Structures are given as structure tokens and as C-alpha cells.
Amino acid sequence: MRVRWPMMAVLAIKVGSGGRVCLFSDQTTHLLADVGGAFPSSSGFTSLEPARFLDTRPGASTFDGAFAGDGKLAGGSEIALDVGGRGEVPDDATAVVLDVTVNDPENFGFATIYPCGVDRPNASNLNFVPGQTIPNAVIVGVGSGGRVCLFSDQTTNLIADVGGYVD
């Protein structure tokens, strides 16, 4: 039996001209958008056009070709993802906004995203069921070497898009 959960993600995005943001879907669907807050201009947050920094699916690509198409992450392991100094994220960024997606996990499980170089927290950012594709937004500190660690307790594909940073 395949369980289907609603797809949703929390994003931090830059407001465009006229105070608007654009929503796009490649399929006919209903879209709902709720505003839960805002970053003041003095916050140090910089919104970026989302860029794919990680995609483990075979044949996948990223904006610079790194961290692409390496196949599913083995359960119980992690990826140390370079974010600082990559793309439009500066070397001295202290945190990034990620939209992390789990794709086609092989079992019930969880993923945890955290700054590399610290102990992995005993908390999850995503919980998933076999065969599911589910995203979640995460604001995470940038750790040692300008990296963010993505851990999954089960074998799965991982995708990560950067949408902004804190300096």
C-alpha cells in the first residue's frame, strides 16, 4: 500500500516588483500560499534565485555539475555538501535556506540536516515512507569547511536547492 502525503514546503523568497512573488507548477493543480513572516532588510538575510546544489538521482544535474547523479545515499550515512563559496553563497555565510527533498526512499525513515563539524542532532527535518517524494525547507548553519551535512537513516535519493543565505 502506498501512502500519499500532501506536498508542501516552506520557502524564504525575495519579494519581486510590485510586492509580488510568482508561483509556477508544471502540472494542473491547486496552489495555496500562506505568508508566515518576513525578514527585515537589516536581518542579514539575502534571498537568491533557487539553485540546485545536490541531486543524487542518476542522470541528475546541479547548477555547477558537482554533487550530481551519484545514486542513492546509503542508509545510516551522510553527505557533506559544499555550500559556502559555491554559487552565489559567499564564503562567510553563517546559514543557508535549503529546500531539501527525499525521493524514492527504500523504507520508512528520516533525514536530518545540520552544520558539518558538530554532533548530529537527535531530531529530524524530514520523515518519509517508502517510495515517497517529500520536500521541506530548512534554515541551517553552515559548518566547518563551508559545508552542510545531510544524513538519512534509510537509503534514498536526496535533492537540495539553496534559496538564500545569512551573512
Pairwise CA distance, residues 104 & 128, whole Å: 9
Q: What is the pLDDT of residue 162?
A: 96
pTM: 0.83
Lowest mean per-residue pLDDT among 4-13, 81-90, 101-110, 120-129? 4-13
What is the mean pLDDT of the segment spanning 147-155?
A: 98
Q: What is the pLDDT of residue 127?
A: 96
The owner of cell 569547511 is 145
Q: Measured between alpha carbons, how far is residue 38 from residues 14, 16, 47, 110 in Å?
A: 10, 14, 11, 29
Q: What is the pLDDT of residue 6?
A: 44
**What pLDDT, in 10s, does the model give residues 53-69?**
999 999 999 999 999 99
pLDDT at 3 over 90: no
In whole numbers, what is the pLDDT of the chain averaged over residues?
Answer: 88
pLDDT at 2 over 60: no
Q: What is the pLDDT of residue 51?
A: 96
Which has the closest alpha carbon to 96: 56, 49, 134, 138? 138
84 falls in which pLDDT band (50, 70, 90)? very high
Domains of the chain by range and CATH?
A: 17-166 (2.60.120)
Pairwise CA distance, residues 164 & 93, whole Å: 10
Pairwise CA distance, residues 57 & 157, whole Å: 6
